[in-house]
């Protein structure tokens, strides 16, 4: 199975999301990597001098019911059952999965996207731009 390899990046200081367009290794040191990204207006610019300034978000290869690409860190919602979940990379299982409560608890894995139709899910935001959505989702899921 093949999928597009794409990234988005949350710039920690600027508090801004970018579509990563590429990077350039200018030396062999860990801080010598120039990252280029595109903002919401389609402007490509150098967004970071090293990866420590960014939270990289990988594309899962899936889209929601509206055709929106789903990335790691996105919050997706199943309207039919009212559950909001966080898309995350699970190192243990080497794949993307969904968390409903504690994003660091990898023992409580929920079913991933392949076990339901893409029309079941809708991207409602991400944990970087809208962290309050995950907190609200946690409260709804406790009920």
**pLDDT > 70? residue 94:** yes
The pLDDT score that the predictor gives to residue 29 is: 59
DSSP strands (E only) in the chain: 7-11, 16-25, 33-38, 44-48, 54-63, 69-71, 74-78, 83-90, 95-99, 122-126
Among all chains, which residue has been given the structure tokens 């559950």?
83
**pLDDT > 70? residue 138:** no
As a whole number, the mean pLDDT across the chain is: 76
**pLDDT > 60? residue 116:** no
**Could you state, in order of their start, the residue ranges of all structural domains in the chain?**
7-55, 59-142
Q: Report the residue count for the chain.
A: 143
The pLDDT score that the predictor gives to residue 104 is: 58
Q: 59-142 has which CATH code?
A: 2.30.30.290
């Amino acid at each position: 199975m093949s999928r597009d390899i794409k990234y988005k990046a949350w710039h920690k200081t600027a508090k801004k999301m970018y579509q990563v367009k590429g990077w350039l290794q200018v030396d062999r040191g860990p801080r010598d990597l120039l990252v280029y990204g595109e903002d919401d207006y389609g402007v490509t610019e150098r967004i970071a001098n090293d990866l420590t300034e960014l939270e990289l978000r990988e594309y899962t290869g899936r889209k929601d019911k509206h055709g929106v690409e789903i990335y790691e860190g996105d919050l997706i919602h199943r309207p039919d059952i009212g559950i909001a979940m966080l898309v995350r990379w699970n190192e243990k299982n080497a794949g993307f999965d969904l968390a409903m409560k504690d994003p660091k608890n990898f023992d409580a894995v929920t079913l991933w996207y392949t076990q339901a139709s893409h029309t079941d899910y809708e991207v409602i935001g991400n944990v970087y731009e809208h962290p309050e959505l995950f907190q609200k989702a946690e409260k709804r899921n406790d009920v």
